[in-house]
Amino acid sequence: MARASGSAASARRDGTDDAQRRALTAEIAAAQAGLPGPHRPAEEVATVIAGLAMAANQEIQLLEDASAPARARTAMRHAAGLST
């Protein structure tokens, strides 16, 4: 497996990514606690939200799609169970 380089590798080594994931998971769990259930596991929702953020980043940077942030926000709200 190829070694990661640059700031992403540094973030993994110093635990920044783990800390951010734990914080996001905790925020999701807290939000879910105030909403009627059932809910997807907070860890699963955090993974989906992270994936949507990466997808939006690609659409913004590679495709120059100005509508990507709005679509990503809608999808994230849906994934988190906050859509109406």
- Where exactly are the structural domains of the chain? 6-79
Contact 81, 41 (CB under 8 A): no
Whole-structure pTM value: 0.70
DSSP state of 3: P
In this structure, what are the phi and psi dihedrals at residue 36, rounded to the nearest 5 degrees?
Answer: -65, 145
- What are 26-82's pLDDT values in tens digits? 999 998 898 888 889 999 999 999 999 999 999 999 999 999 999 999 999 888 887
Question: What is the rounded CA–CA span in Å between residue 69 and residue 75?
Answer: 10
